[in-house]
């Protein structure tokens, strides 16, 4: 299997696929793209022309019927993920799903069970657990250099998909039921803090609609006004991990610019801070307060003896699934972790409405 060239189908040839998956598939694994799929035929055809892909289809069903492929990457709009994922897994193909893979915990469990039954690997992004800086920080924490970690503060927000990204497609769907800031952006912050502390035990949250109308600021729909008052666009999420550990996740579509570090982990004897773009594979910044070592200040951490792998692109999820297939192991970007994050996200509306702290039951 080691020399096998993996045949990849990209489902959903929109902004993210054009940015990450189409240009990087061949760089991230011994792989070729054999099909591009989109309900808008011109997008799939354009992908075929630009990336020398032999086949294009307008649905996942046509793909399954007509094409021989091994791995599908579902990068379609959020609301389409569950149907696409169930179809891919039912066909016995390996799957990488963009986030969130399903609208409910039950539906994601259905996907996980189906993947097991069909004996295929199932990877769910975002890719934060593969990050160089996060894995370096985990090594630093495990070494004891900063003492017990007890609080993480994560700010993961931007000004909205209509604001920060150039897109050929209409961004209105991001504000419709089933999508929204929590599942599009909150998912990143929640995956990050649970990558560091493990499964959370309780969640509470305050949320509001801060921008009920928005103007598209770039791309093909520049200038279009969108009504955006259905779903909250700003969330302040607090998580209890038990045993004196907690986290704050500040997320949404309302921060056009910010100088806040994306993540800081506060520990008994120091702080680990993430101020640099993670795709540049930076070292985290580390502050140590140690009476024994006579240190009190920011230090320059050295790369460890086993430095984590540097990332090339957000298509690294392909390397993860190929590694899981070839070595029959659980991928780093596990669907069970995604299910825990999904449970938090699906409990949040109730936590906001009731103003209470709710228990969580899933783990990974
Ligand atoms: N950094 C990140 O992790 C990141 C950033 C942006 C977007 N995303 C995710 O990527 C996914 C796509 O977002 P985008 O920004 O590319 O949106 P987009 O609207 O630009 O692209 C989505 C594409 O999916 C197609 N599509 C919709 N339903 C389909 C179906 N049933 N079958 C096939 N194609 C279908 C649309 O026609 C469109 O071309 C979303 O899950 C989004 O959350 C992730």
Q: CA 163, 168, 172, 177: dihedral to nearest 10 degrees? A: -110
Of the given ranges (7-16, 132-141, 172-181, 297-306), which has the lowest mean pLDDT? 297-306
Report CA(76)–ligand 1 centroid distance (Å).
Answer: 4
What was the pLDDT predicted at 306?
A: 86
The answer to whether the beta carbons of residues 275 and 153 sit under 8 Å apart is no
Q: Where are the domains of the chain?
A: 6-127+315-330, 128-311+342-359
* pLDDT of 2 over the 70 cut: no
d(CA 257, CA 262): 12
d(CA 289, CA 268): 9
* pLDDT of 86 over the 70 cut: yes
Positive or negative, the CA dihedral 255, 261, 265, 269 is negative
Q: What is the mean pLDDT of residues 312-337?
A: 98
* Residue entry with tokens 């969640």: 203
d(CA 108, CA 89): 12
pLDDT in tens, 232-247: 999 999 999 999 999 9
* pLDDT of 339 over the 90 cut: yes
Report CA(19)–ligand 1 centroid distance (Å).
Answer: 11
What was the pLDDT predicted at 1?
A: 65
Residue to mutate (ligand 1; options 75, 108, 317; most atoms within 8 A of CB): 75
d(CA 142, CA 128): 18
Of the given ranges (168-172, 228-232, 276-280, 355-359), which has the lowest mean pLDDT? 168-172
Report CA(18)–ligand 1 centroid distance (Å).
Answer: 10
Residue to mutate (ligand 1; options 36, 47, 60, 77; most atoms within 8 A of CB): 77
d(CA 67, CA 63): 5
Q: Whose CA is nearest to atom 7 of ligand 1?
A: 16
What was the pLDDT predicted at 24?
A: 98
d(CA 178, CA 272): 34
Residue to mutate (ligand 1; options 41, 73, 76, 221; most atoms within 8 A of CB): 76
98 CA closest ligand 1 atom index:
41
d(CA 107, CA 98): 15
Report CA(265)–ligand 1 centroid distance (Å).
Answer: 31
The answer to whether the beta carbons of residues 47 and 10 sit under 8 Å apart is yes
What was the pLDDT predicted at 60?
A: 98
- Provide, rounded to the nearest whole percent, the portion of the chain with pLDDT above 70: 99
- Provide, rounded to the nearest whole percent, the portion of the chain with pLDDT above 90: 94
* pLDDT of 48 over the 90 cut: yes
Question: CB 94: neighbour CB atoms within 10 A?
Answer: 25
* pLDDT of 135 over the 70 cut: yes
Question: CB 288: neighbour CB atoms within 10 A?
Answer: 20
Give the predicted TM-score (pTM) of the model: 0.96
pLDDT in tens, 204-228: 999 999 999 999 998 889 999 999 9
* Residue entry with tokens 């240190």: 295
What was the pLDDT predicted at 283?
A: 95
Report CA(11)–ligand 1 centroid distance (Å).
Answer: 9
Report CA(236)–ligand 1 centroid distance (Å).
Answer: 25
- What tokens were used for 224? 């279009």
- Residue 150: CB partners within 8 Å, gap ≥ 6? 244, 245, 246, 266, 267, 268
Report the top-level CATH class of 6-127+315-330.
alpha beta
Residue to mutate (ligand 1; options 12, 36, 41, 345; most atoms within 8 A of CB): 12
d(CA 242, CA 275): 27
pLDDT in tens, 99-116: 999 999 999 999 999 999
Architecture, CATH, for domain 128-311+342-359: 2-Layer Sandwich (3.30)
What lines the ligand 1 site, CB under 6 Å? 11-17, 37-40, 43, 59-60, 75-78, 80, 84, 98-99, 126, 167, 169, 184
Report CA(278)–ligand 1 centroid distance (Å).
Answer: 22
* pLDDT of 304 over the 90 cut: no
Question: CB 354: neighbour CB atoms within 10 A?
Answer: 10
What was the pLDDT predicted at 149?
A: 98
pLDDT in tens, 158-182: 999 999 777 888 999 999 999 999 9
* pLDDT of 230 over the 90 cut: yes
Residue 346 to residues 39, 60, 286: CA-CA distances in angstroms?
Answer: 28, 27, 34
d(CA 219, CA 19): 14
18 CA closest ligand 1 atom index:
16
């Amino acid at each position: 299997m080691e020399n096998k060239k993996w045949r990849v189908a990209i489902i959903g040839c929109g902004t993210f696929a054009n940015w990450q998956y189409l240009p990087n598939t061949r760089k991230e694994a011994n792989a070729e793209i054999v099909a591009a799929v989109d309900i808008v035929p011109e997008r799939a055809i354009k992908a075929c022309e630009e990336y020398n892909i032999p086949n294009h289809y307008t649905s996942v069903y046509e793909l399954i019927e007509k094409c021989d492929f091994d791995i599908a990457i579902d990068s379609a709009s959020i609301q389409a993920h569950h149907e696409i994922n169930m179809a891919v897994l039912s066909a016995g193909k390996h799957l990488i799903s963009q986030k969130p893979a399903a609208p409910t915990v039950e539906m994601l469990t259905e996907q996980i069970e189906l993947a097991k039954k069909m004996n295929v690997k199932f990877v769910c992004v975002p890719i934060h657990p593969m990050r160089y800086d996060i894995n370096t920080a985990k090594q630093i924490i495990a070494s004891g250099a900063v003492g017990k970690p007890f609080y993480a503060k994560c700010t993961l927000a931007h000004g909205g998909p209509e604001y920060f990204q150039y897109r050929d497609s209409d961004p209105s769907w991001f504000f419709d039921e089933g999508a929204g800031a929590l599942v599009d952006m909150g998912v990143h912050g929640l995956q990050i803090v649970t990558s560091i502390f493990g499964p959370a035990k309780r969640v509470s949250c305050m949320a509001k609609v801060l921008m009920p109308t928005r103007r598209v600021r770039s791309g093909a729909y520049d200038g279009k006004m969108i009504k955006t008052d259905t779903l909250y666009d700003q969330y302040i999420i607090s998580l209890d991990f038990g045993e004196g550990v907690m986290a704050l996740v500040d997320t949404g579509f309302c921060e056009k610019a910010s100088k806040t570090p994306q993540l800081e982990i506060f520990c008994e004897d120091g702080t680990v801070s993430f101020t640099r773009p993670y795709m540049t594979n930076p070292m985290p910044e580390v502050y140590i307060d140690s009476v024994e070592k006579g240190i009190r200040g920011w230090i320059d951490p050295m790369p460890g003896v086993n430095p984590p792998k540097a990332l090339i692109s957000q298509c690294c999820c392909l390397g993860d699934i190929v590694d899981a297939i070839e070595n029959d192991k659980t991928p780093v970007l596990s669907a069970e972790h995604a299910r825990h994050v999904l449970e938090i996200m699906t409990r949040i509306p109730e936590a906001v409405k009731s103003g209470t702290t709710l228990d969580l039951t899933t783990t990974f």
